[in-house]
Amino acid sequence: MSGQEKNEVNRSDVREDRVVTNSTGNPINEPFVTQRIGKHGPLLLQDYNLIDSLAHFNRENIPQRNPHAHGSGAFGYFEVTDDITDICGSAMFSKIGKRTKCLTRFSTVGGDKGSADTVRDPRGFATKFYTEEGNLDWVYNNTPVFFIRDPSKFPHFIHTQKRNPQTNLRDADMFWDFLTTPENQVAIHQVMILFSDRGTPANYRSMHGYSGHTYKWSNKKGNWHYVQVHIKTDQGVKNLTIEEATEIAGSNPDYCQQDLFEAIQSGNYPSWTVYIQTMTERDAKNLPFSVFDLTKVWPQGQFPLRRVGKIVLNENPLNFFAQVEQAAFAPSTTVPYQEASADPVLQARLFSYADAHRYRLGPNFHQIPVNCPYASKFFNPAIRDGPMNVNGNFGSEPTYLANDKSYTYIQQDRPIQQHQEVWNGPAIPYHWATSPGDVDFVQARNLYRVLGKQPGQQKNLAHNIGIHVEGACPEIQQRVYDMFARVDKGLSEAIKKVAEAKHATELSSNSKF
Ligand code: NDP
């Protein structure tokens, strides 16, 4: 964007009354004077305007998200294009053509805030819908599966994608040691996607989003289905090669932020078509894998995509910090007729995402304007007080829900779901992630076949893995080759060749110094 164009960016919120004050609203005579003794003597503690400015500056950063720290966002709408009321009774789907305002935030996962946009990493794809039944967050990724299926692994896994505690560097040993540990090889499917060219999307507009998890949606009669959501880009999938991604990471680390902002600013609004896959409980019992296994997709031949609507992003935030950095997405933020399944990683996220926002933004994070359920209006006078309570705190309403006929509860309008799952068993320390069997490699092999139909994609996969794995020690490299041999022997050999070639090039360039 040129300097001239930047001046034309919409700044509709600019105030007409522009008398500068300190933070308590007292007009400032001259912002750049400091009170001191004489012209060159020490400063005075009574100079509140200076202290106000410096003290606030020290506090202007909030904890970054851990993970998903680095991201971009924009507002838009969801529009229903197809009737799915037989599957879901949520008000946002009630009629074709209905629009619901939304905010989408895209992000990388492992990088710190300020890191490069184009690194190899899954991308977060989170959307907040401001519905009349309260806010709904779809907290998704651009990959249909994930690395783990057991939530106790989560902090361990994320640590391996971040920095070595001693060197403070990214560490290929740590990365591959975790992923090739026998029980962690359930990650193979996701690792294949991550190291395909889809691991470096060209921009946020040209990638899909997936729920990954299984959810449970029900209709107004109380019938329910397992559901997975696919959000497919209308711009077409576009990716970078490893060389392009690396070059851009150095020359323009904010490449995807810039791309999204400028596209929307110029009226080139990105859109996505939303689909669902549905499955009955009976179908789930016949799967060769668990319906709650986040490392598996539902084959589309058996569970076809059904179109629901579209998401269009047509409004840039006016203030990044207020509207994107402070946006709080959590899968526990949901509406009637859309609930979580028993997927254990999703169950853990129900706790940990909202908890992260309580830590990052405070217990009243739902009062920050971007998080306010303004389309439904929050009313629960027992949820009150606490730091940064700025919404009037329910005035003189009682602090408890009394036996008072003026309250309305929606329970009486909703049918009880029939034929619910029945859970039964002792409370045991169950360890799901034991060494993967062949079933955990089947979908990775299917993906390899899908890549085989696209020119150059199998080769790029081997190239991208080989370049990365070269940074690991020989023993871990061998574990990587063995793991990929379970997908395809040719793939394993191709990875090894790339790693050895890179190693040889590095040795010869080092020997020149
Ligand atoms: P299908 O042939 O019915 O579907 C293949 C899927 O792969 C499509 O969703 C396609 O969607 C997607 N795809 C195409 N190219 C790539 C690529 N380079 N990287 C990742 N995904 C790609 O087969 P199945 O449903 O039986 O799935 C076969 C394999 O496809 C799976 O093992 C999985 O790895 C992958 N896949 C499956 C998905 C699913 O929900 N079933 C979703 C995404 C991937 P599109 O080109 O629009 O992305």
Q: Does the pLDDT at position 3 exceed 60?
A: no
208 vs 233: CA distance, rounded Å: 5
Task: Give the chain's largest Cα–Cα span.
Answer: 85
Name the nearest CA neighbour of 204 among 259, 163, 159: 259
Percent of the chain with pLDDT over 90: 88
Q: What is the mean pLDDT of residues 347-372?
A: 97
3-state class (DSSP) for residue 344: helix
Q: Is 463 in the pocket of ligand 1 (CB under 6 A)?
A: no
Give strand pairing partners of 278.
227
Closest C-alpha among 275, 263, 274 to residue 314: 263
Contacts of 339 (CB under 8 A, 6+ apart): 215, 216, 217, 218
> Has residue 78 got a pLDDT over 70?
yes
Determine whether the shortest distance from the Cβ of 450 to ligand 1 is under 6 A. Answer: yes
Model confidence at 160: pLDDT above 90: yes
> How open is the CA angle 378-382-385, to the nearest 5 degrees?
85
- Assess contact for 277 and 300: CB atoms under 8 A: yes
- The distance of Cα 414 from the centroid of its chain, to the nearest Å, equals 31
Tokens of 426: 């002792």
Pick the residue whose CA is nearest to atom 43 on ligand 1: 144
- pLDDT for the residue numbered 375: 95
Nearest residue by C-alpha to atom 24 in ligand 1: 299
Quick one: which of 330, 65, 101, 313 has its CA closest to 204? 313
Q: How many CB atoms lie within 10 A of CB 367?
A: 18
Within the chain, which residue ranges are assigned CATH 2.40.180.10? 71-142+201-369
**What is the C-alpha to C-alpha distance for residues 503 and 432, in angstroms, rounded to an integer?**
37
- Position 410 scores a pLDDT of 79
- Taken in order 317, 207, 144, 112, the sign of the CA dihedral is negative
Nearest CA to ligand 1 atom 44: 144
For the segment 143-147, the average pLDDT, to the nearest whole number, is 98
Class of the CATH-defined domain 147-199+441-513: mainly alpha
The tens digit of pLDDT for each residue in 61-73 reads 999 999 999 999 9
> What pLDDT, on a 0 to 100 scale, did the predictor assign at position 2?
59
What are 286-312's pLDDT values in tens digits? Answer: 999 999 999 999 999 999 999 999 999
Q: How does the average pLDDT of the chain come out, rounded?
A: 94
The CA distance from 158 to 477, in Å, is 20
Tokens, residue 49: 């305007």
Distance from residue 447's CA to the centre of ligand 1 (Å): 7
Burial per residue of 194-203, b for 16 or more beta-carbon CB atoms within 10 angstroms, e otherwise: bbbbbbbbbb
The more confidently predicted of residues 368 and 9 is 368
Residue 511 has pLDDT above 90, yes or no: no
Can the peptide bond before residue 270 be classed as cis, meaning omega within 30 degrees of 0? no
For 208-220, write each residue's pLDDT tens digit.
999 999 999 999 9
Q: Which are the contacts of 241, defined by CB distance < 8 A and separation ≥ 6? A: 197, 200, 460
pLDDT-based confidence at residue 413 (cuts at 50, 70, 90) = low
> Ligand 1, from 447, 453, 457: best to mutate by most atoms within 8 Å of Cβ?
447
- CATH 4.10.91.20 region(s) of the chain? 21-60
Residue 8 is predicted with a pLDDT of: 55
| Distance separating alpha carbons of residues 187 and 203, to the nearest angstrom | 25
The CATH architecture assigned to 21-60 reads Irregular (4.10)
The count of other CB atoms within 10 Å of the CB of residue 183 is 14
> Which residues on adjacent β-strands are paired with residue 130?
135
| pLDDT tops 80 at residue 4 | no
- pLDDT for 244 equals 98
Would you say residue 164 has pLDDT above 90? yes
pLDDT of residue 9: 58
Tokens 């598996």 appear where? 296
Q: Mean pLDDT, to the nearest integer, of 486-500?
A: 98
What pLDDT is stored for residue 513 in this prediction? 47
171-185, 259-273, 408-422, 499-513, range with the lowest pLDDT: 408-422
Q: What number does CATH give the domain 71-142+201-369?
A: 2.40.180.10
